[in-house]
Structure 1
Amino acid sequence: MGNITGFIDHQRSSVLYRDPLERVKDWKEIAQLPSEMVLRSQASRCMDCAVPFCQNGSQLAGMTTGCPIYNLIPEWNDLVYKGRWKEAYERLSRTNPFPEFTGRACPAPCEGGCVASLANDSVTIKNIERAIIDKAFEEGWVKPQIPTQRTGKKIAIIGSGPAGLSCASILNQHGHTVTVYERADRIGGLLTYGIPKMKIEQHVVDRRVKLMQEEGIQFVPNMEVGKQLSLDQLRTENDAVVLCIGSTRPRDLSAPGRELGGIHFAMDYLHLNTKSLLDSQFADGNFITAEGKDVIVIGGGDTATDCVSTAIRQNCKSLVQFDIYPIRPTTRAIDNPWPQYPIIHKVDTGQEEAVSVFGDDPRAFATTTLEFSSDGNGNVAGVKSAEVNTIISEKGQKIREVIPGTEKNWPAQLVLLAIGFEGPEAEIFHDTNITVDRRKNIAVTNGKYQTNEKGVFAAGDARTGASLIVWAIQEGKEAAMECHDFIMRKMA
């Protein structure tokens, strides 16, 4: 490293966010990068540590720490510090096909494993990654990488989310002819309809898709495999098929009154909102609105936070978020040592907006739903909750016990369920030999990614269960290599 005392000389300076009271008035991106001078000083905080935990994705205590894509983080931090931005982009592109996505939507497990956090605060790795790719686009360094030769082999990829796009990119670079099928009307999967536009504006997704088209990848939207087109037909017409269909079956909540109107799965709510925004700036009215309503969001993860941000922008009357977990400590607990991902109390952008608009953090911690009440016309009018104690059994199982006397009634005309997912939608491979594992994800046999249907592979959330965008991208890369090896063995 050029500055061996950078982490001592400079304090962490995170990404800038637009003022909450201003940004909730629109759907534009909320994050703004600091100046180049600040970014270079932040990059200088990278310590050139002997063992950089940041660049090797690992599962520790059931959580990800470090980068699953194996980004060469210390190397491009050093290049940014020295002002060698183009070289930093070239180094970043060796491992990450889509840094403009991870630099915006990744929760940055790399920073959780940063050695600098042992001295003070972690390096702003995510911000620097985004700055590198944004500058690369501004300077015209990002160009389509068109293969010089074609193998004549055809591959169909089902799903255009992070895993599908990553898989398509790698296979195309090997010279195969790749077609990506997407059931939605726009390409991008989770990037387009799962993540609200204030986190990733659509032009960022469309820009990358256009590049991939120029590289020779064909995209077919509005095509639902399993309905308009059978999986068997795709297998017949292609040398291999890769299932990157995500983990899209939402986990439901079993409680009295669940059948009432006004209770929706989070992804239905977010998808419809984004589609109406992109189609007509909401003029078509084809979305679920929170305007003037008391809103309860059930769930404590990123999807729940996205619901919070969306409901605020729709001018909800009030907002409460149930989080089943107790409030986290402000610093690492004894049983959460570095380099595990830090389980600490955070105020995300959605909660920050709620504090600015309503005056309080919307979260009710250690809270569970008991039942939904009716307005007498078949619609939800309120939610009854209670506080819970979480006990870890000898087998490591979480057992939650309702605390008597903590029951509370909340008004609600809109309830959003953001409590996770239960695997891929299996209808697409219903008439095949493809099976699911005990967690209801697509089972694989030979290698890591091939299913028990020869020549059919699975990657991303469909194989692992709902996970991080960086894992989806890495899954797509690895599945592409296994698929490529399979095809080349057939050619030999």
Structure 2
Amino acid sequence: ECQIVDKGWEEGWITPQMSPRGTGKRVAVVGSGPAGLACAQQLARAGHAPSVFEKNDRIGGLMRYGIPDFKMEKHLIDRRVAQMEAEGVIFRTNMEIGVTVSVQRLLDDYDVLVMAGGAENPRDLEIEGRALDGIHFAMDFLTQQNKRNAGDDEARAAPSGTLSAKGKHVVVIGGGDTGSDCIGTSNRHGALSVTQLEIMPQPPVLENKSMTWPDWPLRLRTSSSQEEGCERDFAVATKRAIGKDGKIVALECVRLEWVAGPDGRQTMQEIAGSEFTLQADMVLLAMGFLGPRHNAFTEQAEVEFDARSAVKAPVTDYKTSTPNIFACGDMRRGQSLVVWAIREGRQCAQAVDAYLMGVSKLPR
């Protein structure tokens, strides 16, 4: 599929798809990640006038700032944005809704507002010593490097201080894609060593197909960043951060095992006597996201949240509890994949189109 679409761009098969007529309806899409972009493009093709509002200075959301360039080149975003601009989508950067402009102002100026701000609230590590210098959220680390690659000077890329893994013993806590991105970036910085800790036990090398089909098979997977160099340790919990002169120097860890409780459910328990200390000059927290940030934007929108702290909106119509406000992508479903965000953005566009026009010809 990647080869096909790359060939399509190279050969000029993929061109702007202009709507034959306009509807006169204006839609504000807040967030320029995959959900917001997918939603805005479909709305433009339906004849509406979408404007995408992005708080950062470039379009793309975490595709732009959270995924390293060695994993996804940013010209892939740029060519799609150019296509969308030709189709009539307006992009407004450096516009933080709730701060730069109020939600009410958007509701006054636009027929519909779509919340597509992603799930940017990172899961923290609540341990003794968390406040030590050298412990950072993964996205703070990754975003800086992407801004440098884009040509920003250091003061602009790292306004709160440079985060560099050069010459350091780096520990990445979290075994997912974001953790792998931290590994690859740390190696490119010139880290002395990189260790990745995962709280779950090590998966089997080969999956049991008869037990997993049709679900995603459970087996040990190794990313390209992990192949470039890192130590991986499984079933490990971090207990305490050890510091010297206010800076992190080591992590106190313990090994875990899964034990069946009285009700048969598996629970994690620490293995007595398994404590160990791991040298660490930099610790990167890549343990996932809890949901969207609850900030001035969500407060002014006055939307309800579900039990997972995401914006409450059903997949049937993507409507929030506030009139004329819709939500899609990670902001609605919680942390997920780019393909899910694109799907939700497109479905939300169809729902908005039907809401505005009474019927929609957009694909569901």
**1:256: which partner in 2?**
128
Q: Aligned pair 1:454/2:329, yes or no?
A: no
Query: Aligned equivalents of 1:241 and 1:394: distance in 2?
Result: 49
Instruction: Indicate the larger mover: 334-343 or 252-261.
Output: 334-343
**1:310: which partner in 2?**
185
Pairwise CA distance, 1:276: 1.8
Deviations 1:91-149 (A, max 9, x none): xxxxxxxxxxxxxxxxxxxxxxxxxxxxxxxxxxxxxx010011111111111111110
Q: How does 1:416-427 map to 2 (within 5 A)?
A: 416-427=284-295
**Once the two structures are aligned, what percentage of the paired residues are identical?**
39
- Code of the aligned partner of 2:234: F
Pairwise CA distance, 1:413: 1.1
Residue 436 of structure 1 aligns to a residue whose secondary structure is coil
Deviations 1:342-363 (A, max 9, x none): 1101111111001xxxxxx511
Deviations 1:2-42 (A, max 9, x none): xxxxxxxxxxxxxxxxxxxxxxxxxxxxxxxxxxxxxxxxx
**Corresponding residue pairs, total:** 356
**1:389: which partner in 2?**
257
Judge conservation of contact 2:29–2:51 (CA < 8 Å) in 1.
yes
Query: Aligned equivalents of 2:262 and 2:225: distance in 1?
Result: 36
- CA 1:267–1:398: 2 relative to 1, 3 Å: farther
- Code of the aligned partner of 1:424: P
Instruction: Indicate the larger mover: 388-397 or 432-441.
Output: 388-397
Q: How does 1:11-160 map to 2 (within 5 A)?
A: 129-160=1-32
Structure 2: runs of 5 or more not aligned: none
**1:321: which partner in 2?**
196
Residue 426 of structure 1 aligns to a residue whose secondary structure is coil
- Code of the aligned partner of 2:222: V
**1:467: which partner in 2?**
336
Pairwise CA distance, 1:447: 3.4
Q: How does 1:261-276 map to 2 (within 5 A)?
A: 261-276=133-148
Deviations 1:191-250 (A, max 9, x none): 100111011111111111111101110000111001001111111111101000000000
Residue 56 of structure 2 aligns to a residue whose secondary structure is coil
Judge conservation of contact 2:172–2:183 (CA < 8 Å) in 1.
yes
Query: Aligned equivalents of 1:278 and 1:141: distance in 2?
Result: 28
Query: Aligned equivalents of 1:416 and 1:227: distance in 2?
Result: 29
Q: Which has the higher contact order (CA 8 A, sep 6+)?
A: 2
- Tell me how large the CA RMSD over aligned residues is: 2.0
Query: Aligned equivalents of 1:221 and 1:183: distance in 2?
Result: 6
TM-score, normalised via structure 1 length: 0.70
Instruction: Report which of the two has the higher share of strand.
Output: 2
Judge conservation of contact 1:144–1:214 (CA < 8 Å) in 2.
yes
Pairwise CA distance, 1:399: 2.4
Structure 1: runs of 5 or more not aligned: 1-128, 355-360
Aligned equivalent of 2:66, options 184, 194, 205: 194
Query: Aligned equivalents of 1:135 and 1:381: distance in 2?
Result: 49
- CA 1:166–1:313: 2 relative to 1, 3 Å: same
- CA 1:252–1:487: 2 relative to 1, 3 Å: same
Query: Aligned equivalents of 2:37 and 2:264: distance in 1?
Result: 36
TM-score, normalised via structure 2 length: 0.93
Query: Aligned equivalents of 2:126 and 2:96: distance in 1?
Result: 30
Aligned equivalent of 2:50, options 165, 178, 193: 178
Query: Aligned equivalents of 1:374 and 1:158: distance in 2?
Result: 41
Deviations 1:150-206 (A, max 9, x none): 000000000000000000111111000000000011000011001110111111111
Query: Aligned equivalents of 1:454 and 1:474: distance in 2?
Result: 23
Residue 214 of structure 1 aligns to a residue whose secondary structure is helix
